Structure 1
């Protein structure tokens, strides 16, 4: 048991803000304060670049990351990481991997990334435990960030609300035991009036399936306008800061899906050039 003074002294460093990504400055200005050791949810309807956003965000923070996905193939995830670093499209990367010189340049470009990838389908708790044990064995520490992509792809959570609730409890315990930030992706409903009448507005908290966005310390709701590539993000839950459960207040980024990159909505996109094919 800790008194208030000891609890604050012990936990203040572990709950520091995550490194800020300059391209996401509009999100921080909107009031988001993602912190270390928290559970963070990114929720959105199908096809809203949740995985791409999670990859970009975690890659750009530069922290040791374990990314577990049942929602992407190994090629898709690794090509997206290469795209983030080089600014090249997935198509360019796929074409370049057939050329020995370009292949080596791509491999060298992503070599410094502190990423471990796992593609179990479904995501199993035993598999996650083994991955964490292997990570500790290799690096003598837990990863700073663990991404679970996504909640409904965790074993037993495909259609069971009770299993999803239990999974969120497990995720919370995992964050507390390891000190890792757990970033979990989840779906919002594609049905209902809001999804049909305003598909490019972030879903409100009550549209997140199972009401599970109430559990994390920070829950973000995302939507993509495919006509302008405006990427709208609402803070629908934040334990220590601004939030709007209705998702009517949101910030806007610009998505570049072909590059797996995001940035301010107004401005010129200058992809980092690493390889000239």
Structure 2
């Protein structure tokens, strides 16, 4: 049992803000403050680059990260990272790896400083999570600072069972408390709601997130992609320690470059050329550039 003063002293460090990503400047300007030790949900309709957004976010922060991917194959995830790091499209990465020699070596060197560790497999099980965490601690002698689950409905038994989905959210919260890691969990919003048909390029409101589960995390982000302008829209539909808009009518805009899995501050001059990513002390995807 802790009194308020001791609790604050013990947990102040775990609640500090996550490293900022330059591309998310408009999101921070809205008062969004993702923090260490929180559970964060990224929700959106199908095909809205949720995985790309999460992958870009954690790769650019470059904190020690354990990424559970049931939604992406091993090749898709790794080629996206290489594409992000070099600015080459995933098709170019695939061709370069097949070509071998200096092309293959350049891509491998581009990823050498990454602090992401992947676990692939579907469905995700809590036994697998425990085993991966044990292996991670055995290897690095610490817990990861970020844990990503891609996505909630890929957990065993959670595809359509609301009770199991609630259990996943409860376990994710417990995991964040026990390890001090930020837990990012991806989830779907309804594709059948009226808004999905009449206004498909706007972020879904809180009540469109399947199962009402966006109310459980400390921070819930709703995302949407306009395929015509490639404008990426992010709304804060739940934030325990800051402003939010459950209707998702107020959102931050940034530029999405899906061919290279990059995001940038919204600027008309960026239509044909992605902006470099924010550099971090250890490594950032923009540090490596593919040689000719």
Q: Give the structure-1-normalised TM-score.
A: 0.98
SS in 1 for 2:94: helix
Which residue matches 2:95? 95
Which residue matches 1:27? 27
Number of equivalences: 277
Which residue matches 1:249? 250
Which moves more between the two structures, 3-12 or 194-203? 3-12
Alignment of 1:256-267 (within 5 A): 256-266=257-267, 267=269
Which residue matches 2:290? 275
Alignment of 1:112-151 (within 5 A): 112-151=113-152
Deviation of 1:276 after TM superposition, in Å, equals 3.0
Check the 8 A contact 2:233/2:252 in 1, yes or no: yes
The answer to whether residue 189 in structure 2 is matched with residue 174 in structure 1 is no
Give the Cα separation in 2 of the matches to 1:261 and 1:209: 27
The answer to whether residue 234 in structure 2 is matched with residue 214 in structure 1 is no
Give the Cα separation in 2 of the matches to 1:43 and 1:85: 25
SS in 1 for 2:105: helix
Deviation of 1:30 after TM superposition, in Å, equals 1.5
Deviation of 1:80 after TM superposition, in Å, equals 0.5
Deviation of 1:129 after TM superposition, in Å, equals 0.6
SS in 2 for 1:183: strand
Deviation of 1:87 after TM superposition, in Å, equals 1.1
Deviation of 1:205 after TM superposition, in Å, equals 0.2
Check the 8 A contact 2:18/2:35 in 1, yes or no: yes
* Backbone CA RMSD of aligned residues: 1.0
Deviations 1:57-102 (A, max 9, x none): 0000010000001101110000011111111110110111122111
Which residue matches 2:280? none
Which residue matches 1:3? 3
The answer to whether residue 60 in structure 2 is matched with residue 64 in structure 1 is no
SS in 2 for 1:258: coil
Deviations 1:155-186 (A, max 9, x none): 11011000000110000000000111000000
Give the Cα separation in 2 of the matches to 1:32 and 1:91: 35
Give the Cα separation in 1 of the matches to 2:178 and 2:9: 18
Give the Cα separation in 1 of the matches to 2:213 and 2:193: 18
Check the 8 A contact 2:264/2:275 in 1, yes or no: no
Give the Cα separation in 2 of the matches to 1:160 and 1:192: 20
Is the alpha carbon distance of 1:240 and 1:270 closer, same or farther for their aligned partners in structure 2, counting shifts above 3 Å? closer
Give the Cα separation in 1 of the matches to 2:238 and 2:139: 35
Deviation of 1:270 after TM superposition, in Å, equals 3.9
Structure 2: gaps spanning 5 or more residues: 277-285
Give the Cα separation in 1 of the matches to 2:47 and 2:166: 24
Give the Cα separation in 2 of the matches to 1:265 and 1:25: 10
Q: Give the structure-2-normalised TM-score.
A: 0.93
SS in 1 for 2:238: strand
The answer to whether residue 15 in structure 2 is matched with residue 15 in structure 1 is yes
Give the Cα separation in 2 of the matches to 1:249 and 1:275: 38
